[in-house]
Amino acid sequence: MVRRTRVVVVGAGFAGLAATRVLAKSGALVTIVDRNPYSTFQPLLYQVATAGMGTADVSYPTRTYAARWPNVRARRAALSKVVPEERRVEFDDGSGLDYDYLVLATGVTTNWLNVPGARENALPIYSLGDAAVLRRRLQQCLEDTATGRRESTHVVVVGAGATGVEVAGTLAELRRRTLPLTHPEIRPDQTSVSLVERFDFVLAPYKPRLRDAAADALRRRGVRLRLGSTVASVEPDAVVLEDGSRLPSDVTVWALGVTAPDQVADWGLPQGKGGRITVTEALSVPDHPEIFVAGDLAGPPKPLPQLAQPAIQMGEHVGRQILAAAQERPVRAFRYHEPGIMATVGKAEAVLQFPNGMTMHGLPAWLVWIFIHVSYLLGGRNRLSVLLNFFWRYFGPRRSATSVTQ
């Protein structure tokens, strides 16, 4: 019975791939669908945006992943409609698929928080395309500043979560160490990196001593911290704060908040906070036990951090519950096992918080951060390439730190 079960997995992120892996090993017939022909390793998008890695280093072809199992197929399409009564999904290209069980793991998108001018003038860093656009924007601004076509390249990063801290720290290192060699025409006062955060600290989920360590590391790298500041609006050349101050900004990076895409409302499923789909404790949709939701798109009764580990664990749980339901066994509630959280600030500097309360920062935490992230990558080529890029960027010639052009 399980071998004939048809499962459609929509979304090739951490959650979708984890669910596919569990289901594929059982012999279920799985079709994994995504609007892109690849899966993106989002934790390293900031490296792509700051020209430390290429897009191929943090992406993996979905069909290559599916080819690991003879009972898995991959398809490129965007979900447009869910028809629970017929157990069918329809896509933007006019095609559709029937299913016995459906897994929705499409993820979320940038939340502009209704800040005037943010959508028009700021650059997000949530997808591979976002990272590539940001990198090209930075490279063009620096080239224009070096040749006199532009007066400055000031960068303002909005949001001091892990992504904001990583972007700001890396850009600050490039500004101080690399630009004097690669762009000697640019004066130090023509560039700056600022980080804006509405809280009085960076990295809100971390313990105070790690927050302070990260903030100190950013300041040492030359990042201008504007803590306890809320963005009122974003202009083409500035970020305006609620206290009336105006931060010059040639490139504004939006690393603040996510929400469900607008098209989720067209699926006819119950939505909760942030547009996420409401689910039971087992991660199934109320009144539709054959539909499961995993990853950031899921709105479980107890909120979970929007990180890779919760998505992976949710995907694996969903896969197991589908197998149980197909065998007419009861489904179980999802329980998240906290493995710890980590973030990097720059070369030889990271913060690591274990679930038992222990903390680590500095070089040891940075080495652990690299090892963990490389181990999660798909494909041996990607792992080797990323590892080489890391050490070349941070220990190779300084002039080569922004060598990626595509």
| Predicted local confidence at residue 326, as pLDDT | 94
What Rg, from alpha-carbon coordinates, does the chain have? 22
**Are both 282 and 378 inside the same structural domain?**
no
Mean pLDDT within 169-185: 94
**Are both 245 and 137 inside the same structural domain?**
yes
Total domain count for the chain? 2
Domain boundary among 293, 326, 359: 326
| Predicted local confidence at residue 302, as pLDDT | 85
Helix, strand, or coil (residue 360): strand
Mean pLDDT within 222-250: 97
Q: Does pLDDT of 405 surpass 60?
A: no
**Which residue's structure tokens are 């929509």?**
10
Q: Does pLDDT of 224 surpass 50?
A: yes
Mean of pLDDT over the chain: 93
Give the whole-angstrom CA distance, residue 366 versus residue 137: 28
Q: Does pLDDT of 118 surpass 90?
A: yes
Cα dihedral sign, 194-200-201-203: negative
The whole model's pTM is what?
0.91
| Predicted local confidence at residue 257, as pLDDT | 84
| Highest mean pLDDT (candidates 103-107, 261-265, 298-302, 400-404) | 103-107
Residue 169 CB contacts under 8 Å (≥ 6 apart), including other chains: 217, 218, 221, 223, 344, 345, 346, 349
| Predicted local confidence at residue 132, as pLDDT | 95
Per-residue confidence band for 306, with pLDDT thresholds at 50, 70 and 90: confident
| Predicted local confidence at residue 403, as pLDDT | 52
Convert the pLDDT of each residue in 149-165 to its tens digit: 999 999 999 999 999 99
Give the whole-angstrom CA distance, residue 48 versus residue 405: 10
**Are both 144 and 167 inside the same structural domain?**
yes
| Predicted local confidence at residue 237, as pLDDT | 96
Q: Does pLDDT of 274 surpass 50?
A: yes
Per-residue confidence band for 399, with pLDDT thresholds at 50, 70 and 90: low
Q: Does pLDDT of 335 surpass 60?
A: yes
Give the whole-angstrom CA distance, residue 126 versus residue 50: 14
Give the whole-angstrom CA distance, residue 183 versus residue 332: 58
Residue 54 belongs to a domain:
no
**Are both 293 and 229 inside the same structural domain?**
no
Q: Which residue has the higher pLDDT, 142 or 404?
A: 142
Which domain, by its residues, includes 155? 118-257+340-400
Total Cβ atoms within 10 A of residue 184: 9
Residue type, 69: W
**Are both 250 and 274 inside the same structural domain?**
no
**Are both 245 and 376 inside the same structural domain?**
yes
| Predicted local confidence at residue 1, as pLDDT | 41
**Are both 246 and 153 inside the same structural domain?**
yes
**Are both 346 and 198 inside the same structural domain?**
yes
**Are both 247 and 391 inside the same structural domain?**
yes
Output the six-digit token pair for 153: 């390249």
Residue 300 belongs to a domain:
yes
Convert the pLDDT of each residue in 19-42 to its tens digit: 999 999 999 999 999 999 999 999
The upper half-sphere exposure of residue 205, i.e. CA atoms within 13 Å in the direction of its Cβ, equals: 18
| Predicted local confidence at residue 398, as pLDDT | 65
148 conformational bin, left if phi > 0, alpha if psi -120 to 50, beta if neither: left
**Which residue's structure tokens are 């070349």?**
392
Closest CA to 35 of 79, 74, 65: 79
Convert the pLDDT of each residue in 45-91 to its tens digit: 999 999 888 899 999 999 999 999 999 999 999 999 999 999 999 99
| Predicted local confidence at residue 2, as pLDDT | 42
Q: Does pLDDT of 294 surpass 90?
A: yes
Per-residue confidence band for 402, with pLDDT thresholds at 50, 70 and 90: low
Residue 217 belongs to a domain:
yes
| Predicted local confidence at residue 61, as pLDDT | 96
**Are both 128 and 244 inside the same structural domain?**
yes
Q: Does pLDDT of 3 surpass 60?
A: no
**Are both 390 and 356 inside the same structural domain?**
yes
| Predicted local confidence at residue 401, as pLDDT | 61
Q: Does pLDDT of 92 surpass 80?
A: yes
**Are both 293 and 350 inside the same structural domain?**
no
Mean pLDDT within 210-237: 97
The CATH code of the domain that includes 246 is: 3.50.50.100
**Which residue's structure tokens are 């960027």?**
393
